[in-house]
């Protein structure tokens, strides 16, 4: 990449490192058996902070079409807790904003219909916007109208002409995935009705820093967000934040409610509370972002010490969850099949493949009971309670669970 790297929001040259995780494969594409002998292409995973607008962002070295192609394997409905989160959201929004058969709900990055299905069940018209063919087709099979396209201003203008102006727009864990964040936000400002509401959920960078959640950094994420930065970006596009809710999902997320600048939504107390929390942490200055790289190196050292000790003692370790965050962890730490035998996942579309980089074989969850490992390393630590409950049988042979984030814990 020639020339100075520029901020994807304000265009300022990027000079300050937040964390450098080296060069790794793309996290969300597992290796097919016929490709096992081919080396994985690797790309820099170097995250910087803009000294002007404070947006934390990765180098855009991989085109987004490489992340969200036909072979995309992340289906939201495989996480029961996430589907329940979506159901509660739908019930809340219907009640809070009086949505009915005369309303229109549009979700951007609608995946396999995990969320919109709950509005459909209540008779509320919906439209999904989802660029990945695999998940969009799954949604369509559920009876959820879905546009297979990337979202931005041009798509929003077309959908507005076609009669899809929205009373409610939702976008969960996608704002960080867009290389042109201003075009993306402009799309919401375009498609939203004058009194419409847009809710956007994203992992909170405050938690990423405080809880050392470096494994949530991967090429699919172009940015890592705070309320402070999101408010500034939305304001540029004539949108106004009127409420914020703190969520437990993905290790600590924010749900930001916004509307057009002149809409009649009144400001809720949650907004001032999160603004104050970020200010107290120092997210409005560069100092809060320094020292993260050292915390990441300490986590790597702790995990490798545990795995090498287990190996020396003749103990076996398997992993649960072929998740992108797990690939960041394993590849940054240099973990392979010499330390972790395999990984299991409920998603049958992943089974039979191999994790990129580490080359751990992805097997069905039943493999755990068959081989009875001494330790099960939970890679999607944000689902640790759900996974611990699913795999309770591990306790029967004296097995234990392990997480590496925010710190090494054996339980």
**Would residue 348 count as lying in a domain?**
yes
**Would residue 228 count as lying in a domain?**
yes
Answer yes or no: do 222 and 186 share one domain.
yes
**Would residue 118 count as lying in a domain?**
yes
Q: Say how far apart CA 52 and CA 50 lie, in whole Å.
A: 5
Answer yes or no: do 139 and 249 share one domain.
yes
Answer yes or no: do 91 and 217 share one domain.
yes
Instruction: Report residue 80: phi and psi, to 5°.
Output: -60, -40
**Of the residues 271, 289, 307, the one at which a domain ends:** 289
Q: Give residue 65's pLDDT.
A: 57
Answer yes or no: do 263 and 383 share one domain.
no
Q: Give residue 98's pLDDT.
A: 98
CATH code, 344: 3.40.50.720
When divided into structural domains, the chain yields a total of 2
Answer yes or no: do 313 and 264 share one domain.
no
Instruction: Report residue 340: phi and psi, to 5°.
Output: -130, 125
Tokens of 67: 């992340």
Q: Give residue 71's pLDDT.
A: 55
Answer yes or no: do 118 and 264 share one domain.
yes
Measure Cα distances from 135 to 62, 129, 223 in Å: 21, 11, 23
Q: Give residue 1's pLDDT.
A: 41
Q: Give residue 75's pLDDT.
A: 79
**Would residue 45 count as lying in a domain?**
no
Q: Give residue 364's pLDDT.
A: 98
**Of the residues 245, 263, 289, the one at which a domain ends:** 289
CATH code, 201: 3.40.50.150
Contacts of 89 (CB under 8 A, 6+ apart): 115, 118, 170, 199
Answer yes or no: do 256 and 364 share one domain.
no
Answer yes or no: do 145 and 247 share one domain.
yes
Domain range for 145 is 76-289
Q: Give residue 241's pLDDT.
A: 99
Q: Which residues of the chain have pLDDT under 50?
A: 1-2
Q: What is the pTM of this model?
A: 0.89
**Of the residues 289, 317, 339, the one at which a domain ends:** 289
Measure Cα distances from 257 to 55, 99, 202 in Å: 20, 16, 12
Answer yes or no: do 221 and 103 share one domain.
yes
Answer yes or no: do 88 and 187 share one domain.
yes
Answer yes or no: do 261 and 347 share one domain.
no
**Would residue 189 count as lying in a domain?**
yes
Answer yes or no: do 247 and 390 share one domain.
no
Q: How many CB atoms lie within 10 A of CB 120?
A: 17
Task: State the angle between helix axes of 292-312 and 324-333 in degrees (0 to 180), rounded to the nearest 10.
Answer: 80
**Would residue 122 count as lying in a domain?**
yes
| Closest C-alpha among 255, 267, 274, 126 to residue 200 | 255
**Would residue 13 count as lying in a domain?**
no
**Would residue 321 count as lying in a domain?**
yes
Q: Give residue 207's pLDDT.
A: 96
Q: Give residue 73's pLDDT.
A: 60
């Amino acid at each position: 990449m020639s020339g100075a790297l520029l901020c994807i929001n304000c265009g300022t040259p990027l000079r300050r490192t937040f964390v450098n995780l080296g060069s790794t494969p793309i996290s969300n594409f597992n290796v097919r058996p016929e490709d096992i002998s081919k080396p994985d292409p690797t790309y820099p995973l170097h995250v910087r902070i803009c000294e002007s607008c404070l947006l934390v962002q990765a180098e855009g070295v991989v085109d987004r079409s490489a992340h969200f192609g036909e072979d995309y394997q992340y289906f939201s409905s495989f996480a029961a807790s996430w589907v329940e989160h979506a159901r509660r959201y739908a019930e809340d929004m219907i009640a809070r904003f009086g949505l009915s058969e005369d309303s229109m709900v549009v979700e951007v990055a609608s995946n396999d219909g995990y969320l919109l299905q709950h509005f459909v069940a209540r008779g509320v018209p919906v439209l999904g916007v989802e660029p990945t063919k695999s998940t969009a087709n799954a949604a369509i099979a559920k009876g959820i109208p879905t546009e297979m396209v990337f979202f931005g201003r041009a798509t929003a203008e077309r959908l507005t002409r076609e009669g899809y102006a929205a009373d409610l727009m939702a976008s969960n864990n996608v704002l960080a995935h867009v290389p042109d964040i201003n075009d993306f936000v402009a799309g919401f400002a375009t498609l939203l009705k004058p009194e419409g509401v847009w809710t956007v959920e994203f992992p909170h960078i405050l938690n990423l820093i405080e809880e050392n959640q470096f494994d949530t950094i991967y090429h699919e994420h172009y940015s890592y967000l705070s309320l402070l930065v999101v408010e500034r970006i939305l304001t540029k596009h004539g949108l106004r934040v009127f409420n914020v809710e703190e969520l437990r999902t993905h290790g600590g997320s924010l749900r930001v409610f916004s509307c057009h600048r002149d809409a009649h939504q009144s400001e809720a107390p949650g907004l001032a509370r999160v603004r104050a929390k970020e200010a107290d942490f120092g997210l409005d200055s560069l100092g809060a972002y320094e020292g993260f790289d050292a915390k990441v190196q300490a986590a790597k050292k702790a995990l490798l010490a545990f795995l090498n000790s287990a190996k020396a003692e003749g103990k076996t370790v398997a992993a649960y969850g072929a998740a992108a965050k797990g690939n960041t962890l394993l590849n940054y730490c240099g973990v392979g099949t010499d330390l972790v035998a395999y990984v299991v996942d409920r998603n049958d579309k992943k089974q039979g493949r191999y994790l990129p980089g580490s080359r751990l074989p992805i097997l069905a969850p039943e493999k755990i009971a068959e081989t009875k490992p001494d330790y099960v390393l939970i890679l999607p630590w944000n689902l640790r309670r759900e996974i611990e409950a699913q795999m309770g049988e591990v306790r029967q042979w004296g097995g234990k669970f392990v997480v590496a984030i925010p710190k090494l814990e054996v339980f």
